[in-house]
């Protein structure tokens, strides 16, 4: 009972300092696969039905640092998931360079916890690129040089129309971008 009182006092101080509450598992260093490293709790169904790579990334959000590959697979199993072919999962993690950092031969972590490591931005999704190709933005200027903006899904909408200057809009009068 004394331990519980001390833990309650510690958690109160942590609340006042806006810190994460310490668990009994962290105090007693429970390192079973069901608890992950440093007492992290894993629900028995946390990774059930998830693809191995998705489950691994979800687990890596918990420790907020790189962990050994064996810990990742043990945590997936403890959470009701199936890591499948472990070599395939290891290769998938290593190839997920936008989200994952590989440290050494056997350690993986999420890139978001390594802000000093610079990676390029995410590429546009196929749907985003298609949407950009479906619309055309043309900037025309009126007689005083003020821009006229127009957006259309069909380039033909801009042909054979008069601009405010009175000149017809044609391929020759529309600048190439």
119 Cα distance to chain centroid: 13
Does residue 58 lie within any of the structural domains?
A: yes
Question: Do residue 71 and residue 16 come from a single domain?
Answer: no
Does residue 160 lie within any of the structural domains?
A: yes
Question: Do residue 161 and residue 135 come from a single domain?
Answer: yes
Assigned token pair, 138: 């043309």
Question: Do residue 138 and residue 117 come from a single domain?
Answer: no
Condensed to tens digits (0 to 9), the pLDDT of residues 69-93 reads 999 999 999 999 999 999 999 999 9
Entry field: residues in the chain: 177
* Contact between residue 72 and residue 97 where contact means Cβ atoms under 8 Å apart: no
pTM for this structure? Answer: 0.49
Question: Do residue 103 and residue 47 come from a single domain?
Answer: yes
Does residue 174 lie within any of the structural domains?
A: no
Does residue 149 lie within any of the structural domains?
A: yes
Domain count, the chain: 3
Does residue 175 lie within any of the structural domains?
A: no
Does residue 176 lie within any of the structural domains?
A: no
pLDDT < 70: residue spans in the chain: 24-39, 120-140, 148-177
Last residue of a domain, one of 98, 122, 146: 122
| Full residue range of the structural domain in which residue 156 is found | 126-169
CA atoms 64, 69, 75, 81: torsion sign? positive
pLDDT for residue 105: 87
Does residue 177 lie within any of the structural domains?
A: no
């Amino acid at each position: 009972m004394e331990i519980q009182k001390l833990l309650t006092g510690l958690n109160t101080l942590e609340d006042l300092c806006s810190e994460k509450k310490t668990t009994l598992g962290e105090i007693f260093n429970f390192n079973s696969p069901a608890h992950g490293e440093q007492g992290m709790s894993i629900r028995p169904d946390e990774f059930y039905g998830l693809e191995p790579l998705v489950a691994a990334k979800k687990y890596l959000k918990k420790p907020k640092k790189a962990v050994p590959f064996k810990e990742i697979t043990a945590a997936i199993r403890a959470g009701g998931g199936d890591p499948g072919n472990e070599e395939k999962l290891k290769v998938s993690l290593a190839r997920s360079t936008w989200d994952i950092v590989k440290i050494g031969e056997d350690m993986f972590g999420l890139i978001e916890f390594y802000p000093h490591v610079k990676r390029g931005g995410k590429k546009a999704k196929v749907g985003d690129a298609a949407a950009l190709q479906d619309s055309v933005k043309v900037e025309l200027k009126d007689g005083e040089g003020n821009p006229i903006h127009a957006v259309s899904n069909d380039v033909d909408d801009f042909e054979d129309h008069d601009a405010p200057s009175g000149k017809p809009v044609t391929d020759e009068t529309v600048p190439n971008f």
